[in-house]
Amino acid sequence: MYHHPLKLALLLILTLLTLPLQAGISPLAFGSRGGVPTLAPMLEQVIPAVVSISATLESGSANTTSTTQSAPSPLQRNHSGLGSGVIIDHHRGVIVTNHHLIEGAKRIEVKLEDGRSFDATPLGSDQETDIALLQINASNLQALPLGDSGALRVGDFVIAVGNPFGLGNTATSGIVSALGRSNLGLERFEEFIQTDASINVGNSGGALVNLNGKLVGINTAILAPNGGSVGIGFAIPINMVREISNQLLRHGKVQRGHLGIRTKSLSTNLARSLRLPADQGVMVEQIEPGSPADHARIRKGDIITTINTHNISSPTQLENVIGLFPVGKKVKISLIRGNLRHNLFATIQPKVEQTLAGEKLSSNLSGTVLTPLSSEQKSFYLSGGIAVQSVDPQQAGWALGLRPGDVIYSLNRQPITSLDEIEQAAALSDKMVIIRLYRGEKILEIIMR
Active site residue 99: no
Q: Bridge-partner residues for 306, per DSSP?
A: 311, 334
Reported as type and span, the H/E element at residue 5 is: helix 5-23
Cβ-based neighbours of 81, under 8 Å, separated by 6 or more: 54, 55, 56, 57, 101, 102, 105
Name the catalytic one among 99, 100, 258, 310.
Answer: 100
Q: How far apart are CA 201 and CA 171, in angstroms?
A: 14
Asked about 89 being catalytic, the answer comes back as: no
Reported as type and span, the H/E element at residue 427 is: helix 419-427
Q: Give domain limits for the chain.
A: 5-38, 43-255, 257-350, 356-448
Report residues of the chain scoring pLDDT below 70.
1-35, 58-80, 181-190, 222-231, 277-279, 352-353, 375-376, 379-380, 429-432
Catalytic residue among 73, 84, 126, 130: 130
Beta bridge partners of 372: 386
- The C-alpha atoms of residue 364 and residue 212 are separated, in whole angstroms, by 48
Task: Tell me the CATH number for domain 257-350.
Answer: 2.30.42.10
Please check whether the two domains, 43-255 and 257-350, share a CATH topology. Answer: no
Phi, psi (deg, nearest 5) at residue 400 = -65, -30
Task: Identify the active-site residue in 66, 204, 245, 366.
Answer: 204
Judging by beta carbons within 10 Å of its beta carbon (0-12, 13-18, 19+), is residue 113 exposed, middle or buried?
middle
For residues 419 and 436, what is the distance between their CA atoms, to the nearest angstrom?
A: 15
The pLDDT value recorded for residue 227 is 53
The CA distance from 46 to 32, in Å, is 17
Q: For 371, phi and psi rounded to 5 degrees?
A: -140, 160
Which CATH architecture describes the domain 43-255?
Beta Barrel (2.40)
Specify whether 100 is catalytic.
Answer: yes
What pLDDT is stored for residue 205 in this prediction? 87
Pairing of strands 414-415, 407-411: antiparallel
If one counts every other C-beta atom within 10 angstroms of the C-beta of residue 437, the result is: 25
Q: Which CATH class is domain 356-448?
A: mainly beta
